[in-house]
Structures are given as structure tokens and as C-alpha cells.
A = this chain, B = another copy of it.
Amino acid sequence: MLGNFTYCNPTKLYFGADSLEYLNTELPKYGDNVVLVYGGGSIKRNGLYDAVCEILNKQNKNVAEIAGVMPNPTLAKLREGIGIARNHHADLILAVGGGSVCDYSKALSVSVHCPDDPWEKYFIRFEEPDCELIPVGCVLTMVGTGSEMNAGSVITNQDTKQKIGHVFADEAVMPKFSILNPMVTMTLPYEQMVSGIYDIFNHICEQYFSGEDDCTSDYISEGLMRSVIHSADVAVQNPQDYEARSNLMWTATWALNTLVAKGKSTDWMVHMLSQAIGGVTNATHGMTLAAVSLPYYRHILPYGLHKFKRFAVNVWGVSTEGKSDTEIASEGLDCMERWMRSLGVTMHSRDLGATEQNLGRIADCVITMPGGYKVLTREEIEQILRESL
């Protein structure tokens, strides 16, 4: 654990099949005016909307709704929500949905009382909030993003086609509480399940594939990856397996709540490539990650050979006997490829709307970062995107 760092994550998690009950415990801690945020309406079909409203009504909350938060929440939608929350004098933002709804709610939390333009302040200048924040609580419906226990938010500016994430440093931006019921996640389509699974796995990879030092975070990451792989194999066979779905829900939270980043430089280039595709094509986050991962990792393997070898042995159980380091490392990525194919995630960005024609525009939107094994040149970015087609 080299360097100096701070860890603080005060989000209270209520986990399990009965966890929604705890909304009754949390609501009295906040004022009467609640802004209820949700997405495309799946929570109306699966009964969660009614269950949440019943609790809100029982506690005599004044509820305003922000409905229709989209998979890649837009700046225009954020501006609409700011107006609603201001008019409602919101005391609590209650996010009922997946990562997009949670991300959106945190962006709203830091924007409602912000005198500056939130896009410019938070997503262009990457500043921290200096205004009053509105507390956020989450009732999670989809697993993958980890947004339920971190201070991150990703917003898409449709005018500029920019999808930009900001992980705030201030733990006050994190949700005050999150309710995690694995049963709810079983009501979502198979494609969303596997997209979420790959999102979890890639979050861990992004933090793991950096540094040459001996860091406890890498050992924890290996444990989390092994658990994800095993539970995914079970859930693919039987999406109703509670144990597997609950493990996936828990690993998602711990994959991206800053723990396994501690002491690490961290990479995030798969996210940068993927968000550039998402900004242009509006494709699902987990699938864009899946499509670019292998071309990217195979490209940087020689620069992080030691770690890719360790990944092969410790995560995939690749035997080392009679093989060169490069062979061992490559075999690890081959195992990962077989596993991704068994999940059925998207392996080609052309299936998500990327083309030879818009590739240059996507490449223009890729932000490079210095934490991984190689800072990509423009040529390398285009090459990896082309290989991902």
C-alpha cells in the first residue's frame, strides 16, 4: 500500500430479500419533501414502485417525481430535474433504479443548490461541490455499476456527444443509504444481468491492471474476480439462483466503492474507450466495456506482462509449466474471452453502432489517462477501436 491515501465510505447498506423494510427506518431521518427518481418504468411492472410509494405515503412524505431517467442520463434531463427539485424544496432524493438512476440522483444532489453551470463545473472542470448537497438514498434494481456506494456520476451531453464521468472526492456525495435486494435483480432481462456482470468484472480489472508493486488491493481484487466468475457461471445456468445473484450484487458494490483502488494508480482506459462509444452510439455501458476489453488488454499485455501473468495464474488457474510468461499471460486473456462468450456479452463494437465511418469521431472523444501500463497514442486508440469492430 504505497503512497498516502484516505478511505471513507459512510454509505449504510441494507442487504437481503427483506431489505426494503429498512426504508421505514431511514425516511424519518430526513425532511418531508422527497424527490423520487426512476427510469423507464420497469419498477411499475415489478411492483417495486407501489411498495416504495406505500412506505412514502405511510410516512406522510410530499413526493415529487422525476421519471424516465434514461440508461445514459443526459444533461438536458439533469437540467429538467434541477427545476423539479428546486420547486419541491427537496430534502431527500430517493433513487429507485439501476446505476443510471443513482448516477443521475448524485448529479442532481450536487447541482440543485449550485450557482454555477453543473456541466461546466463538475464534468468539464471536475470541481468539487461547494454548495449544500441534498442527501441521496438508493433502492437498487440492477447490479453492476457500483453507483450505490460511491461518489461517481456519469452524465451525457447530447449536444456535444460527450459522456463524462466524475468521481467526486468528497464522501458527502455518496448515498446516505442503499437498499440492496437480490430478488429485485431477478426481474430484469438476461441481457441486463450479463451486462452488469461484465461491468463488475471490468471495474475490478481497471484497478487491478496497474502497478508492479505488491499491494493488498490486488489480492482482494483477485478474490472478488473469482467470486464474480463463479457466481456468473451459476447465474447463467439459473438466473433465479439467489445465492449467485446475491454474491453478484455484493461484488458489484465492492468492485467500485474505492476499496480496491487504494494504493493503486488504476487504469480506466477500457471505460474511456467504452464511454466514447457510448457517447456516440448510446449503447449499454456493460456491453461497450465488453466490446473493447480484449483488444485493449491484448494490446497492453507486453507493457504489464507481470500482472497479466499473475491474473492468468491467480484468477483463472492457468498452469505455468513449460510456458513462457507471454504464453501464460495470453492464456489468461483467452480464459477471460471464453468466459465472456459463455455469458453472451457483446464482443464486437459494430454490434453496438460503431462503424469504420464513425470510428474517428469516437476516437476524438476518448480521454487518455496516465494510471495504466501504457498511455495510448491517437494511433493506438484508433487501432484498438478498429480491432473492437
Which A residues have a C-beta under 8 Å from some C-beta of B?
1-19, 22, 171, 182, 213-216, 219-224, 226-227, 230-231, 234, 242-244, 246-247, 249-251, 254, 259, 262-263
Contact = CB atoms under 8 A, between A and B. Distances in A.
Contacts of A1: 15-16, 182, 243, 246-247, 249-250
Nearest to A12: B8
26 contacts: A1-B246, A1-B247, A1-B250, A2-B242, A2-B246, A3-B16, A4-B14, A4-B16, A4-B17, A4-B19, A5-B16, A6-B14, A6-B22, A7-B15, A10-B10, A12-B171, A213-B243, A216-B223, A216-B254, A220-B220, A220-B223, A221-B223, A223-B224, A246-B263, A250-B263, A254-B259
B219 A226 contact: yes
Contacts of A249: 1
Contacts of A16: 1, 3-5
Contacts of A3: 16
A15 B8 contact: no
Contacts of A182: 1
Contacts of A226: 219, 222
Contacts of A19: 4
Contacts of A10: 8-10
Contacts of A18: 4
A197 to B, nearest CB: 13
A263 B17 CA distance: 13
A231 B214 contact: yes
Given A7-B15, A220-B224, 9 more contacts: A2-B243, A6-B12, A6-B14, A7-B12, A214-B234, A214-B243, A214-B244, A215-B247, A254-B259
